[in-house]
Structures are given as C-alpha cells and as structure tokens.
Amino acid sequence: MNLHAVRAIYAFEMARTARTLMQSIISPMVSTSLYFIVFGSAIGSRMPTVGGVSYGAFIVPGLIMLSILTQSISNASFAIYFPKYTGTIYELLSAPVSAFEVVLSYVGAAATKSVVLGLIILATSAIFVPLHVEHPIWMAGFLFLTATTFSLVGFIIGILATGFENLQVVPLLIVTPLTFLGGSFYSIGMLPPFWQKVALFNPVVYLISGFRWSFYGFADVGVGASVAVAFGFLITSLAIVGWIFKTGYRLKA
C-alpha cells in the first residue's frame, strides 16, 4: 500500500476542513444547539418522558445521526467531485495510487470529519440535557460504521454528479426527509399501527434505533436488525464503488 499517497490525500482533505471551519463544524454545532433550545427546552418541557428518558435526552441520538448522515455525504461528495470539476482527477488516476487507496483517503477523511462533528454535538448536548451512554463501545461502533458507510455513499454521489447542484439532491431531498421520518424526534411506537409498519421500510429507522439503543438500552427495532442494515449499506456501497473503478463509469468522463 502506498501509505505516503494515502497520508497526503487524507491530510489535504483534513486541511480543507480547517479552512472551512465555519461551514464544516461551527454551523452544524449551532444548528444542533437551536434544535435543543426549540425541541429540548420549549417543546420537551411539555412532553412526558420517552422510555423513562427526558425528551431532550431522547432526541440526542437522532440529532447526531441527522448530522452524521448529511455531513458524511456532503463532505465525501464534494471532495471527489471538485477534482473532476477542475480536471485534476486525471493526475490522481495516472498516479501510482490504487483505487483502494483513493477510496481509503477520501472516505477516511470524510468519515473522520463526521465522527469529530458527532462527538462535538454529543459534548454540546451535554450542556443542555443530562446524558448517559449505556453502551459506549457500541455507540462508537455505530458512529464509525454510519460515518464510513455514508461517506462511501457521498463518494458515489460525487462521482456520478454532473454539476454542483447534483451534490445536494440526495442529502436534501432523500436523506434529510428519511431521517426526520425515521424516529429522530419521536419513537415509532407512538405512531398508529399501520404507520409503524410503514416506518419499518425506512432504512434510517434502523440506524437511529440502533444508535439510540447504545445510549439508553431500548430501541424501536432489534439491535441485530440495525447492525444488519448498517452492514448492508456498507457492502452495497463498496460493491458500487468497486464497479465504478472497474468500469471507469463517470470517473474518466
């Protein structure tokens, strides 16, 4: 493995985060604080506990997952699309760097940014609500797995995109609605029976439910199902990335 190349690309992407600190870190952190002020304080004070947990604490995993999903996709998609847009992608393709090393560098950097953001949001939430992580190892595992998987999804979007506007279609029109409807701010057990069954077709429900279980020990769906869905996303994304590099589809165009 060309570790020098991997380290160089990874360092370049992480340095870009430092240059866009307001957009990458501060803006999501402020948005999350507003969620806590509005939902956690204003609305949460009028709501009963959920599973024995205050409403403000209940929404913490959902807020972290919302940020992880959207930021992972955005970071990875822009990182690979910009070289395509400027034409520097050909220098990367002609360099002695394998497809695995390229994916490892870009996806690793995007996942690192998302994990750091998730930890910052977790620390920020502790200012507003009392937190207790019942299964910290599982929490870290879900955080890393989700960030890596959706960074791969963003990598795919960046390769397939034909313009900057395409980079925002999936995060804004698909991922964000699915996250809001996936139990970020409520338990799907609160829904009528018919809509509970419909909600089970939303894959984000499994991600949020598994992540919330790592905090409080209860979940809307089984933890095994959550892990299976997360790994299913990961394997599918890896297969698509492998096919893209094998065929060169939208990569060399």
CA distances to 58, 126, 136, 217 from 132, rounded to whole Å, are: 11, 9, 9, 10
Express each pLDDT in 186-208 by its tens digit: 889 888 999 999 999 999 999 99
Q: Which of 127-136, 158-167, 192-201 has the highest mean pLDDT?
A: 192-201
Comparing CA positions, the residue from 58, 73, 79 lying closest to residue 233 is 73
pLDDT of 252 reads 65
In 3-state terms the chain splits into helix, strand, coil percentages (rounded to 5) of: 80, 0, 20
Domain boundaries defined on the chain = 3-247
Comparing CA positions, the residue from 75, 82, 85 lying closest to residue 109 is 75
Q: Within 10 Å of residue 45's Cβ, how many Cβ atoms?
A: 10
Task: Tell me the pTM.
Answer: 0.90
Comparing CA positions, the residue from 30, 65, 47 lying closest to residue 180 is 65
Q: Which of 8-22, 114-128, 214-228, 238-252 has the highest mean pLDDT?
A: 214-228
Greater model confidence, 148 or 87: 148
